[in-house]
Amino acid sequence: MSALVYSSMVCVWKVVRRPRVWSVICALMTGMSTLPVQAQRVGPQLVHLSTDDETLAKLAVYYYGDALFAAVLANANALKQDSNGRLAAGQRLLIPHASEVRLDAASSFSRIAQGLLGESYRQFVLRELNDSVQSPRLSPGTVLNVPPVLQHTLRGGETLEAVASRYGLAAETGAQLLRRYNASVREKPKQGTVIDVPLLEIGLTAAARRKLDALGRWACRRPSGSDAQSGERLIELESLLRASRFSDAIVLAARLIGELEPQGAPVAPYNLLLGQALVALGNDPAARIAFDAALAETPSARLDPTLTSPKVIEVFAAAQAERALAR
């Protein structure tokens, strides 16, 4: 897979400005991101760039139609649970929502649940969201809805009913869902216990859905220079990495670099993200090339060790060392 990804990346990088290759690029962007259960995620991830007058409650109303879901945004973005606090302008927020996966090979609900949700018994969640799929054997090409799942650490005296209410679920039925989804957790869990919270009842508003659809349409059109240079494109690339969609990230990064480089625009941030995606797919040599390109443009470029895996830091350090020796 890594050799295919790298060769595809090089191909895109070289011919990205030729109109006839955009159909190929679209196919790559929708067909290269694989999961352990032989499935492909369908569609982009929603990311929001905040303005200086926004709060979590306001965004929860816009994206979910209810301020009660402010805690969902806080959890997903490691923010304080205060929904009334104003967000900083330019702050990037991941917007959790149900995603779709398309199966590449025949499978079953239990296997999909094991691969995507961590436990085969959690298949009841997939069955509930996909009640129109009746066959126990899922054929290739089947598209399934998968809920977003948050992790919540219990505080002293906090009950499952309180956790359910915090994330916009009905207290009693939500607690029952949490007990069933977290079968290994005791009836009265202690402080510090980590609870997985599947968000079955959360749905996007019409406005949020239009935004998501627009992102999907953008993925298969030729970007303009202003598109490529905007913060939204960098945000989208980062969101692909956070969602472990490394192959999609490689194709998008190469596409944007190919558009920006001839204009003399900075591409170091894209090369840094490209390198991280390549490391994730096991192609360290190609990652060092991307990191070296970033360092050639911005010698002071750095990766935050608190946000980056040790393996990526190791490959980046190797690129730094090779560049220092070449001087």
Confidence at residue 258, expressed as pLDDT on a 0 to 100 scale? 76
Mean predicted confidence (pLDDT) in 301-318: 88
With beta carbons less than 8 A apart as the criterion, state whether 104 and 36 touch. no
Confidence at residue 36, expressed as pLDDT on a 0 to 100 scale? 55
Out of 113-127, 155-169, 253-267, least confident range: 253-267
Tokens of 119: 């436990």
Phi, psi of 236 (to 5 degrees): -65, -40
Count of all residues that appear for the chain in the document: 327
**What's the pLDDT band for 211 if we cut at 50, 70, 90?**
confident
Q: Is residue 142 pLDDT above 50, yes or no?
A: yes
Which residue would you say has higher pLDDT here, 147 or 11?
A: 147
End-to-end CA distance of the chain: 34
pLDDT tens sequence across 35-66: 456 677 776 678 787 877 889 999 999 999 99
The residues, any chain, with a CB within 8 Å of residue 49's CB and separated by 6 or more, are 90, 91, 92, 231, 232, 235
CATH fold of 2-36+206-326 reads 1.25.40
The residues, any chain, with a CB within 8 Å of residue 159's CB and separated by 6 or more, are 175
Segments making up each domain of the chain, as ranges: 2-36+206-326, 99-146
| Mean pLDDT of all residues belonging to the chain | 79
**Is 99-146 in CATH node 3.10.350?**
yes
Q: Nearest to residue 253, comparing CAs of 23, 18, 28?
A: 28
* E strand map for 109-209: 137-138, 143-146, 149-153, 194-198
Ramachandran area for residue 261 (φ above 0: left; ψ -120 to 50: alpha; else beta) = alpha
Tokens of 69: 């879901």
- DSSP code string of 72-122: HHHHHTT--S-TTSBPPTT-EEE----EEEEESS-EEHHHHHHHHHS-GGG
Record the pTM: 0.59
* E strand map for 199-317: none
